[in-house]
Amino acid sequence: MRLHFETRMIGLAAAWLAILMGGAETAYAQASRRAKKPKPAAKAPSRPRASAGETTVSDSITLRDGTELLGQVIEPSPKGTLIVLARRDWVRANLPDRIEGWEADERAATVAATRQRRERLAAWREERPAAPGPGDRITNWLDRELAESSGPGEPSPLIAVRLGRGDVMTVKQRGETAARALRGAWLLGIADPETTPLATLADAIAGRGLILQGDEPIDLDRLLPPSVEPEARWLLRRAATEALNDEGLRFIRFGSSVLPEPLPGQPPDPSAGAALVGGTIRDVLGVGGPDPLPARLRDVAARGRVGAMVTTIEVAPDLSAVSAESALYYRGSRGWERGPWRTGSLQFGAVPPVVVGAVARDPQVQAVMGFVESIGGGLVSPEMKQRGLIMGTTAGGAVLLARTALVTSLAGVALELESATPDRRTRPKP
């Protein structure tokens, strides 16, 4: 019991500091490639994974007059309605008699969506600082967006075509592999993907560095026209943007301890390790207090923010493995809710010894080790300290796995801050 107690104290204290050592992340990433990747929390695709002999990537929709629309059918669609995403330039070139009516329908919906978006950005700006500070990307972006004309912008690269049941003769959908290839090609701006053979298109996409395998969605929001967006979706989008760009919105949780992550390049607070060890002692003795996370989230809300990222570390009871879960929390009408999450886990000792050595030599880690040894009454052996350090670096690797996966996922939800031009704005899905 004592061995597990003291090793756990050392491991958690070392983990807290090890996670924050930016120099160790490259080695953590090397270990992560050997670990089993966590499966994203995504819906199962409605399409088959692949179809035998599939050579093209576009769904084919034959209209009542015999013309063919190439694009991608979106699932699910409203009852009796077929929603098809298509590249606007392709439709203009191949269905010139149709696109005028489709764009007229689109304009009516775009006016309402643009008005809604502008009102939400203005309300968001009111909760931001009056004058943006250094590194405040969101406030600067909001000021640029609100300074722009609210009139119609450039047409989006993709158009969402809504077809009634009487408009369609036949529908031929491609498999999931082809569907992902088409979405990837649209995202990368590859020319004429609708008629390019699947194998050729896959090679071109791989050459651009986009990975098509896996279940992570390929988000096309920024290529679509604006559409009216439910409040819950907007809050999730705003929360993701804040969690990825604002300072002070990321936390690490061990047991009953919730501690803020320091800013990149900022040295960890020396008292953090001591606070973590104290919390671990209370957990082991069963003297835990109230959950500290609600108080942390109240502080976030008091700053006018609606998003926070919380990474929770769990150590197996037998100390054989460490797992981590990174989750986005967002503040809605009913208070704080847990949003998207990702997980990562590593077996004890999965991180290379060179990383353990680098962590052990860090002066702040040595200070925490000394603190643990002092409260251990001189009974903390070198073997215990080494095992604790291994646990700490393993936890750091698990955190890197989970946090990287969540950040990748949120990047597809968050608003794009690089440009204020209409064609670069993030657009909700139809």
pLDDT of 353: 81
pLDDT exceeds cutoff 90 at 65? yes
Phi-psi domain of 80 (left: phi exceeds 0; alpha: psi -120 through 50; beta: other): left
Residue 210: what are its φ and ψ, rounded to 5°? -95, 130
Percent of the chain with pLDDT over 70: 71
| Average of per-residue pLDDT across 248-254 | 89
On the CB side of 285, how many CA atoms lie within 13 Å of its CA? 11
Checking if the pLDDT of 161 tops 90, the result is: yes
Of the pLDDT bands very low, low, confident and very high (cuts 50, 70, 90), residue 52 is: very low
Q: How far apart are CA 307 and CA 340, in angstroms?
A: 12
> How far out from the chain centre does Cα 249 lie?
14
Residue type (1 letter), 335:
G
Measure the CA–CA gap between 353 and 426, rounded to whole angstroms. 43
Residue length, the chain? 430
Asked whether the predicted pLDDT for residue 25 surpasses 50, the reply is no
Task: Output the six-digit token pair for 33.
Answer: 């490639």
The residues, ordered by sequence, that sit 6+ positions from 255 with a Cβ below 8 Å of its Cβ are 12, 279, 280, 283, 288
Distance CA 172, CA 179 (A): 12
Per the model's pLDDT, the better-predicted residue between 112 and 9 turns out to be 112
Mean pLDDT of 89-103: 95
Beta pairing class for 321-332 and 257-260: unpaired
Confidence of residue 173 (pLDDT cuts 50, 70, 90): very high
> Chain-wide mean pLDDT for the chain?
79
For residue 64, name the pLDDT band (cuts at 50, 70, 90): very high
Region 58-84: mean pLDDT is 88
Helix or strand run (H / E) with residue 14: helix 2-19
Q: Which of 39-43, 46-50, 426-430 reaches the highest mean pLDDT? A: 46-50
Mean pLDDT of 55-80: 88
The confidence score (pLDDT) of residue 192 equals 95
**38 pLDDT exceeds 70?**
no
- Residue 396: what pLDDT? 80
* pLDDT score recorded for residue 11: 55
**In 148-264, alpha helices (H):** 176-188, 198-207, 231-245
Under the banding of pLDDT at 50, 70 and 90, the label for residue 44 is very low
The rounded distance, in Å, linking the Cα atoms of 291 and 299 is 14
pLDDT greater at residue 142 or residue 80: 142
Q: What percent of the chain has pLDDT over 90?
A: 43
Q: Is the pLDDT of residue 283 over 80?
A: no
pLDDT (mean) for 281-294 = 71
**pLDDT in the model for residue 29:** 43
- DSSP assignment string, 19-39: HT-GGGHHHHHHHHHHSPPPP
Taking 80 as the threshold, does the pLDDT of residue 168 lie above it?
yes
Q: Among 235, 234, 409, which residue's Cα sits nearest to residue 331?
A: 235
What is residue 165's predicted lDDT score, i.e. its pLDDT? 85
Average pLDDT over residues 392-419: 85
Give CA–CA dist 37/44, Å, rounded. Answer: 17
pLDDT value for 39: 35
- Predicted pLDDT at 34: 40
| 219 vs 163, more confident | 163
- Domain residue ranges in the chain: 2-42+244-411, 59-229
The pLDDT of residue 254 is: 81
- Classify the C-alpha dihedral 220-221-225-227 as positive or negative: positive
Q: Please indicate whether residue 264 or residue 84 has the higher confidence score (pLDDT).
A: 84
Predicted local distance difference test score (pLDDT) of residue 200:
93
83-99 mean pLDDT? 96
Residue-level pLDDT at 21: 44
pLDDT tier for residue 320 given thresholds of 50, 70 and 90 = confident
Query: 273 pLDDT exceeds 60?
Result: no
